[in-house]
Amino acid sequence: MPGRRSAGKGEQGVDVKVPDAEAMQALGERLAGLVRAGDLIVLTGDLGAGKTTFTQGLGEGLGIRGPVTSPTFVIARVHPSLVGGPGLVHVDAYRLGGFAELDDLDLDASLEESVTVVEWGEGLAEGLAEDRLEMIISRKAEEGDEERVVRIDGIGGRWAGLADDLR
């Protein structure tokens, strides 16, 4: 996987080129091999960027009970593992008013046993965990261009080896 190191303050980061939706799913499946129970992934990107597509691949890789869909009517959905591993907690923070509301969901118990993915979570979900993986999905300005660039930053000691793991 192509990527480059960032000169961050204790942060580990890479940029990954994602040519199409299938590649985004594959990135999710790849990340499934790196995460464990208690991990938090914060996904940022505009509508249609590919946050849910990524989460579907992650869920596939984790072997959770699907389907993973955009949580339109529920703010958070818990997908149990079908393979005795961590489950997936999928949160759509878009409609949340702020961190207090996310806290109100009382996800703490589930979070410990699951990998948690928050869509649209920038500036919101960070309070859930000091260590987290932040992914910012950007697309080209041209209409119809399927390529995305995913910036992946590992924050905290948990992700100290991220750049090497993703190589």
Ligand X SMILES: Nc1ncnc2c1ncn2[C@@H]1O[C@H](COP(=O)(O)OP(=O)(O)O)[C@@H](O)[C@H]1O
Residues of this chain that interact with ligand X (CB under 6 A) are 18, 20-21, 24, 45, 47-53, 70, 119, 146-148
Amino acid in position 69: T
> Tokens representing 107?
């996800």
3-state secondary structure of 88: strand
| Binds 121: which of ligand X, Mg ion, none (CB < 5-8 Å by kind) | none
Least distance (Å) from Mg ion to the CB of residue 51? 5
Nearer to ligand X, 148 or 158 (CB): 148
- 57 to 76: interface string for Mg ion, x by CB under 5 A: -------------x------
103 contacts: CB under 8 Å, gap ≥ 6: 127
> CA torsion, points 15, 19, 20, 21, in degrees to nearest 10?
-20
Nearer to ligand X, 85 or 137 (CB): 137
| CA atoms of 3 and 141, how far apart (whole Å) | 22
77 binds Mg ion (CB under 5 A): no
Q: Long-range contacts of range 96-99, CB-CB < 8 Å, 24 or more positions apart? A: 96/124, 98/124, 99/124, 99/125, 99/127
**Residue 166 CB: number of other CB atoms within 10 A?**
19
User: Within 13 Å of residue 135, how many CA atoms lie on the same side as its CB?
Assistant: 26
| Binds 161: which of ligand X, Mg ion, none (CB < 5-8 Å by kind) | none
| Binds 158: which of Mg ion, ligand X, none (CB < 5-8 Å by kind) | none
| Binds 18: which of ligand X, Mg ion, none (CB < 5-8 Å by kind) | ligand X
| CA atoms of 20 and 34, how far apart (whole Å) | 22
Nearer to ligand X, 152 or 158 (CB): 152
Nearer to Mg ion, 93 or 162 (CB): 93
Nearer to ligand X, 47 or 109 (CB): 47
Q: Which residues bind Mg ion (CB under 5 A)?
A: 51-52, 70, 119
